[in-house]
Amino acid sequence: MHSNAELANSKEGDGEMIERVDAARANIHRSVSARSRTGVRQDMYIPPHMPNLSPMPEEDVHVPRLPTPGFPRSGATTPHSASKASVRSTGSSGPPARDARVSVRHSVSAASIRSGRSVDSGKQSLISTVGIGRKFTHKWPRPLSVPVPNAPALGESGRVGKLRIPALVLEDEDYVVEGTELKEQKKKARWTIHKWALFFSVIMVFGFGVWLFVDSMLTWFRTWQNADVVLVANRDILSLSTVAGTLLLFNAIIGGTGVLLNSRPFLAVYTVLLWPTFVSVCSVGYASYKRTVYSLSLKLNAAWSAEYTPAGRMAIQNALHCCGWFSPLHEAEGSKICYARSPLPGCKGHLLRFDRGWLMTQYISAFSLVPFVVIAIVIALLCSNHVTQRFGKGILPRQYWLRVEDVREEAQRIMKSGVLHPDEASDAKEKVSEATS
């Protein structure tokens, strides 16, 4: 009797234990359903034989969020199959091991991660580098088509509208619109009117730069008769003219390179450097005009007595065929043709006439160049961004294009990181190879 009573009690205890397990299992399933409705976990699977495995909220799973598109989950890549595969690897009997539980959680979490936010959200600074992850975020707009003016096209409703071509076609400029069709052209693309205007302005700047630079170099190397007079009396203005010619020539080279290569950075530098070029040209004209108009005779008197060296006075006497300032007896530098009883006249009149004529030529030329430099600046400001047809079309820059190599590299990185379950990694590898082959 005692043994029968004990047996009955044990059966009652087993029945109570079974009821408790069933109740706990029902509570777990209800909690999972509630969390699914609240968004904590939408695809967590609780095996029936593992009631102690409680679902983990997303905040507890320390898995990095990858900015990659989710692979389609079908077959072995579903959370259900991934959790089953990880459970089968640990065995069907006995209590679940901690490693198995962690592997199940990580596999399920990796398969269910969906990052709705962009990688660049929350950043205040500009993006310095373009990685593969940022190409997946679709941060920049995806252009669909660009309207072509004066090109009628028949729409779906039968109405005549505007022909629209893919915007990325304008990237290579190998196509041309003929009527309502987009045809591949054999010749190179035509230049835009803005590019032609910029090209002619660069040619204009180049011509003026060559003129000023060559004229200054001829004077510096004393290739003409009275070059020594300019080097002694107007060396500062000659230096300003050389700087202006050099800047014009250098700017023209940069601008021509930008036009031919369709490089907006080169054209930006060209536009910025036109401003100091404008200042240098104006400085040549202002210095020459001021020296000519305001007491040129008195300035030359003071310079002959105090500023010019004996070698400078000798060079002026030999170039202008004169002796002394007022006469051979007044501050003359002795030479074979200049002595006390020399018949040569003084250098004041000759130097004054030559210097006034040269200075007038300089400031007239400089002030004549100023309007052309202003025109070049205006054209550069208005046309530098329109050397191609792409500006203003919302075309994604080439460095942000998502390529097949980027997808393959990102998929390989994910598989090597160990975040995905082996079954999911193998299936993902097969799909990537099929998509990129």
pLDDT digits (tens, 9 = 90+) for 8-49: 555 565 666 667 667 766 666 565 555 545 444 444 444 444
If one counts the domains in the chain, the total is 4
User: Rounded to whole angstroms, what are the CA distances from 231 to 72, 215, 242?
Assistant: 81, 13, 13
Residue 395 in any domain: the answer is: no
Q: 185: which 2 tokens?
A: 């052209």
Distance CA(388)–CA(375), nearest Å, equals 21
Q: What one-letter code names the amino acid at 240?
A: L
Cβ atoms within 10 A of the Cβ of 231, count? 17
φ, ψ dihedrals at 152, nearest 5° = -70, 145
Q: Is 163 helix (H, G, I), strand (E, B) or coil?
A: strand
For residues 378 and 279, membership in a common domain is answered with yes
Largest CA distance in the chain: 164
Residue 119 in any domain: the answer is: no
Residue 392 in any domain: the answer is: no
For residues 414 and 432, membership in a common domain is answered with yes
Residue 122 in any domain: the answer is: no
For residues 321 and 265, membership in a common domain is answered with yes
Could you tell me which of 147, 199, 150, 172 has the C-alpha nearest to residue 387?
A: 199
What is this structure's pTM?
A: 0.54
Residue 397 in any domain: the answer is: no
Distance CA(313)–CA(266), nearest Å, equals 47
Residue 315 in any domain: the answer is: yes
Q: 278: which 2 tokens?
A: 């404008």
Spatial neighbors of 306 by CB under 8 A, at least 6 apart, are none
Query: Domain limits at 163?
Result: 142-190
Distance CA(368)–CA(158), nearest Å, equals 59
User: Rounded to whole angstroms, what are the CA distances from 324 to 234, 305, 316?
Assistant: 19, 11, 10
For residues 359 and 225, membership in a common domain is answered with yes
Residue 134 in any domain: the answer is: yes
| Cβ atoms of residues 99 and 86 within 8 Å | no
For residues 170 and 133, membership in a common domain is answered with no
For residues 362 and 430, membership in a common domain is answered with no
For residues 287 and 412, membership in a common domain is answered with no
For residues 348 and 375, membership in a common domain is answered with yes
For residues 309 and 262, membership in a common domain is answered with yes
Distance CA(181)–CA(154), nearest Å, equals 11
For residues 66 and 20, membership in a common domain is answered with no
Beta-strand pair 160-165/146-154: antiparallel
For residues 237 and 262, membership in a common domain is answered with yes
Q: 103: which 2 tokens?
A: 């592997």
Residue 339 in any domain: the answer is: yes
φ, ψ dihedrals at 99, nearest 5° = -65, -40
Low-confidence residues in the chain, pLDDT < 70: 1-18, 20-21, 24-189, 389-401, 418-425, 427-429, 431-437
DSSP 275-311: HHHHHHHHHHHHHHHHHHHTTHHHHHHHIIIIIS-HH
Residue in the structure block whose two tokens are 């962009």: 118
Cβ atoms within 10 A of the Cβ of 277, count? 27
Could you tell me which of 15, 97, 109, 130 has the C-alpha nearest to residue 59?
A: 109
What is the pLDDT, as a whole number, of residue 399?
67
For residues 289 and 369, membership in a common domain is answered with yes
Q: 184: which 2 tokens?
A: 């591949």
Q: Is 149 helix (H, G, I), strand (E, B) or coil?
A: strand
